[in-house]
Amino acid sequence: MTKRTVQDGAVQERDFFADVMDVVRQVPRGRVSSYGAIAKYLGAARSARIVGYCMNNAHTAKPKVPAHRVVNRIGLLSGKHHFGTPTRMQELLEKEGVKVKNDQVVDFAKRFWDPMVELGL
């Protein structure tokens, strides 16, 4: 998905998937973000599902993309079926100190990393 923007009078094309991966790479260890928050930060508030598609393909990206740190808007591990085994996403989060119970991040509000706040606009 390519997005055209005008900057200083010149048209520039941006790869939305690359932009998503750049944002996700900035989510700190032990924190999580959501598909919707990332889409909103990138100026495409209704594109949470596309962020999810991007995370499905993130496992082979170079440099690595910590896709396990992206969950749905209420902290559910909705993308867990894209991680080799059904428990791999949870294992990766727990290795970083994020507690998960019944496929949901415990203390989601406390762990939530909002790119609009953390990266600013």
> How far apart, in whole angstroms, are the C-alpha atoms of residue 40 and residue 34?
10
Residue 119 lies in a domain: no
**Number of domain units in the chain:** 1
Residue 68 has pLDDT above 50, yes or no: yes
CATH of the domain at 57: 1.10.10.10
Domain span at 12: 2-110
Query: In the predicted model, what is the mean pLDDT of the chain?
Result: 90
Has residue 59 been placed in a domain?
yes
Q: Where does the pLDDT of residue 72 fall: very low under 50, low under 70, confident under 90, or very high at 90 and above?
A: very high
Q: Does 115 reside within a domain?
A: no
Tens of pLDDT along 78-99?
999 999 999 999 999 999 999 9
Q: Are 42 and 23 in contact (CB under 8 A)?
A: yes
Tokens of 66: 């910590």
**102 and 58 Cβ atoms separated by less than 8 Å:** no
pTM above 0.75, yes or no: yes
